[in-house]
A and B are shown apart, each in its own frame.
Chain A
Amino acid sequence: MLEIVNVTKKFEDKIAVNNISFKIEESEIFALLGPNGAGKTTTVKMIAGLLLPTSGNIYLSGIDVVKKPLEAKRMISYIPDEPFIYPNLTGREFLSFISEIYGIDNYDDQISELSEYFGLSQDIDKLLVTYSHGMKQKILIASAIIRKPKLMIFDEPTVGLDPISVKKFKVYLQRLKENGTSILICTHILEMAEKICDRVCVLNNGKIVYNNLVKNIYLDLNKNLEDLFFNLVE
């Protein structure tokens, strides 16, 4: 599904991501972990097309993300850690805007369904400037779902969400996975990564220091994810 091959990203003389390679399979929930400044956000930004790799290749279903960005972007939904969205559009207008950009037909019912699911029905016709951080996050998650992408990328998806919404989000992730969507999550919440992800990849100082299936962590190393993480990055 997604293949990252020897990707490096330099900012002037600083190497943010150093020759990393990994794969994400179809219907896989993949966690990208690491301390602050490890290169997680830089990596996902390169996949989403916000940054260009200095060297290396990124393939999504065989399509080179750098050479054919529009084809690749049609298959990706990216949700950043800071939910900036057009303040003068309503929630419904923003979701309609996204749906039309992606050429999705008959999206009205889906907007109603998603706003109901995430508890936004009362506010869906209000301006986004009036939304709280969590509400904006929910609208962005809804906008990612409505596109029916092959790969969903979330950078710290649960920041600002209340516990009920976090639960609902996790349930929805499983539903998406069952429908064949691959999911890449950048997070600091190790417990979430351990519980809902199939595979974890740990970055430190721009390099991959660990990449394995979650179920193998305990089997191979007899450790939980938290212990492993501290051993790797400390």
Chain B
Amino acid sequence: MNRINIKLQEDKKILSIYFTAGYPNLNDTVSIIQKLEKSGVDMIEIGLPFSDPLADGPTIQESSSKALENGMTTKLLFEQLAHIRETVQIPLIIMGYFNPILQFGMEKFCEQCAQIGIDGLIIPDLPLEIFEQQYQSLFEKYNLKNIRLITPQTSEERIRKIDALSDSFIYMVSSSSTTGGQSSFGESQQNYFNRITQMQLKNPQIIGFGISNQETFSQATKQQKGGIIGSAFIQHLNQNKIETIPDFVAKILC
């Protein structure tokens, strides 16, 4: 069974953390992952940096540019992660835009992920229809979960379709926005969280975009299974040494 699915069966709220590989320093990748796991994080999204990240706000854009300047590449990321499963047990997901993966070769990319022990992929600009037609069997062959996004604007019909095609969790984008923190969730977002809960989907949902602290994390996990923190963590790394990762995580989980 896939590590993501095992984790989702646990009777607890899931804290997932996103970081950009190659940031702040080129070779921080492994130690960031190890420190996140030791701090009690449940799942990690490793961001494969891209020159033109359309769905991301300024924080992740800047971390991606910096990571690329530092020399991060797809090949190098796989080298850095080659022995990650000797020390890390929690689910690992790679989040990357389609073009770098396409250039690496989709099958080769999936094969490398499987060898390393990656559990799932989030490719925000890979359309659902293209995934279904061209890549679904490849993902199944390498036991990789394809994690799809929904937003407050996604129609019920499409959410049902995404739910049917998913087999781990649904990444619920909290509001109509690019990535980036906000201080709290308003009424319209609460209504959206309620609406999705009432749909009784087969896949649990994890909320991302706009979670930055204990308050937003607990709001997001009132009804949904978990929350994902990205930009706020990148900002923390921008200002603090990676040794302080446990402090960051402790503040969310307190």
Co-complex (A, B): no
